[in-house]
Structure 1
Amino acid sequence: MSDGTIRKVFPKIHSLKISNEILEYVFTLPNGLNPKLLKENYFVFLQHFGKSIELEGEFKKYVLTVYQQAMTSELTYNFEEFKESLKEHRLGIIAGLDRYGKYVSFDLLKQPHILIAGETGSGKSTQLRSILTTLIKTKKPSELELYLADCKKSEFHIFRKVEHVQCVLSSPREIKRMLGHIKQELDERSDLTEVFEVDHIDNVPVEHKRPYIVVCIDEFVMLRKDEGIMDILTEIVAIGRTLGVFAILSMQRPNAQVLDTTIRANLTVSMGFKLRDKVEARIVNTPNAEKIETSGRFIMNSDKLYELQAPYLKQDEAKRLLNLFMVSKEAKEVNQEEQPITEKDVFLDVN
């Protein structure tokens, strides 16, 4: 001021919403105040309101939401609780429980291809187990085929004898041959949509119907050096949606070279569990995933950003739920004209 006094200028609060669930402050910053100051001093909000808060906005207008109750820190998998919310989807995925105690689900046909990333112990593996178990329980083997690849040889053995599961692989050589079969299937389905002049494989005549295919690869970063494998994965995520072929890819350490622009742009759902730093969170497109402290908690980026608690499904419980779908499998082939591959061959690398 001209008289030497200092006038303090504060953000202007425009509204305050109070309910049983939240306190919501809508405010604007004074002109000339650097918005970076909010991020740099975010700890002040945490100190005053606690950890159950969310700050959204940019440049000038912001919304601070203070949740009255903290999110649950553990959510036991209970299919009966969320099966109703799956009925509206053709190929439904239960992601987790939000801050308001509501299950968040989505349809792979509308939001195809999932990327899951997280450190060891973050909840990534049990989320994979939960997703696959739910798919098996909601679709018949004639409606859904699962192709599972586990480069660490530790995650998918419990699914090996499930009727929906076409193969469980671990070696890059066998995974490449399996993806060759998927490539052939993509070509055949593409031909069908062209012959019958339809925009989706679901719309071909009944006698030509094909089951949905989900290819799930854990630690696919270990396959990055094989250009043939990466080319087919890129094709799956680029054109698989209209052909009923979907990918679920997971990794512990997100890598920008592996998640190139084409793959990243077509992985429409990203689930970031606890990640090492901001760089990894940015690669997965799940901001603040590096700040997560609770196992099973993750940031999901799909139609919008969510903070969710994933269903926790123990391996023994998964085996019990899957027991109904177990069959005896002998020399089951993954059809590929030149080099048929049998489950006997496949499992040499797993055992």
Structure 2
Amino acid sequence: MTVERDWLERSADQIEAVLSRHKADGVVLGGVVAPRFVQFHVRPHPSVRIQRIIALAEEIALALGCASVRIARSGGVVHIEMPRSLEAPVRLLRLVETLGREIPPHTAVLGVEETGRPLLLRLPAPDVVHLLIAGMTGSGKSALARTILASLALCNAPERLRIVLIDPKGRGFAPLAHLPHVEGGVIADAQAAVNRLRVVVREMERRDEEGISAPLLVVAIDELADLLQTGGKTAEATITRLAQRGREAGIHLVACTQKPTAQLIGGAMKANFPVRLVGAVATRDEARYASGVPDSGAEKLGGRGDFLLVAKGETTRFQAAWIGESECRALNAPRRQGEKGGAGRHQT
């Protein structure tokens, strides 16, 4: 679908008209047309409070003829986003081929940000360390976790990368079980998961004693809340310990949850997951808990891979790359990276 300039200009006029009628004057400075949304950049009048504009979300959506809009502030500009239908998924394998040698070691490919540039995340970077992926059913959180793990496996040999898969439901990570990087297949039983986490803690202690951090070890947990509930205090203690001390030993957590509550994301867990990947959630409270920032607008995301990257208090909207289950099962070993590649944005 091509978005016509005259439609964009009419929509900008409608936004300004709604703001003016409700004495929340602002000027549309421009915007961005992304795969999943159209974003208008509004500079509010100095006397207008941001919350006043946020409160007009329903009126703006009505004027634009869409189900809802997402409103968030960035610097001195307010972003008003309306959804558009996704023409086709962002294919991980095609994205990896395009990037080629631009992908550094131990770097995950997330997808494409609103400008169309690839978005990469280097796990060993000091500002990354561990990843928390949150979102309700249909948000695409398990698919994003598979994308992250598959992209790491594609670009890193098994002797440089090891993966532990913990999946209480046994479905989300099943297509990756055969990868040569994976240790012990998919662990679905709660007690077996706790035992494996204990083994990882002992490995962390051994690495600390010997002063080593290789190979990189990624512990992926689907349905974190379920594991904490069934695994009890032991599961919580081992995960917290890995989150606190794992980085120096080259151990990183990638955890998914569809229940981003204050109880789950609090204390040590909150402090040690500085990077959040937040998909669609049900309420503003869940959006706040999941993202760690107020008014992220995650409750307005469109689902199906529509995500926010939250790092250092800033958010980046992106469309997650997608890899089908049959494609996952066809992966056998790291593919040889091409000679050519476009530049992507790196989170370091």
Q: TM-score range by the shorter chain?
A: 0.7 to 0.9
Other structure's SS at 1:134 match:
helix
Is 2:264 the partner of 1:258? yes
Q: How far is 1:250 from its partner?
A: 0.7
| Matching of residues 280-319 of structure 1 within 5 Å | 280-285=286-291, 287-303=296-312, 304-319=314-329
Structure 2 unaligned segments of length 5 or more: list them: 1-20, 335-348
Is 2:138 the partner of 1:134? no
Max Rg structure: 1
Q: How far is 1:94 from its partner?
A: 1.4
Other structure's SS at 2:139 match:
coil
Judge conservation of contact 1:53–1:64 (CA < 8 Å) in 2: no
Other structure's SS at 1:323 match:
coil
Q: 1:310 to 1:88 in 2, by over 3 A?
A: closer
Match of 1:216 among 199, 220, 235: 220
Judge conservation of contact 2:153–2:333 (CA < 8 Å) in 1: no
Q: How far is 1:36 from its partner?
A: 2.8
Judge conservation of contact 1:219–1:249 (CA < 8 Å) in 2: yes
Q: What amino acid maps onto 2:308 in structure 1?
A: I
Aligned to 1:323: 332
Aligned to 1:192: 210
Identity of aligned residues (%): 22
User: In structure 2, what is the Cα distance between the partners aligned to 1:76 and 1:19?
Assistant: 18
Aligned to 2:95: 81
Q: Which moved more, 1:290-299 or 1:245-254?
A: 290-299
Q: What amino acid maps onto 1:79 in structure 2?
A: L
Q: What amino acid maps onto 2:200 in structure 1?
A: I
| Deviation readout 1:278-307 (Å, 9 max, x if unpaired) | 121111116222112342212221242011
Q: 1:102 to 1:47 in 2, by over 3 A?
A: farther
Judge conservation of contact 2:135–2:258 (CA < 8 Å) in 1: yes
User: In structure 2, what is the Cα distance between the partners aligned to 1:53 and 1:190?
Assistant: 48
Q: Which moved more, 1:75-84 or 1:269-278?
A: 75-84
Is 2:57 the partner of 1:42? yes
Aligned residues: 299
Q: What amino acid maps onto 2:58 in structure 1?
A: F
Q: 1:255 to 1:25 in 2, by over 3 A?
A: closer
Is 2:140 the partner of 1:123? yes
C-alpha RMSD of matched pairs (Å): 3.1
Q: What amino acid maps onto 2:77 in structure 1?
A: V
Q: Which of the pair has the greater relative contact order for Cα pairs under 8 Å at 6+ separation?
A: 2
Judge conservation of contact 1:76–1:311 (CA < 8 Å) in 2: yes
Judge conservation of contact 2:279–2:303 (CA < 8 Å) in 1: no
Q: 1:222 to 1:55 in 2, by over 3 A?
A: closer
Aligned to 2:189: 171
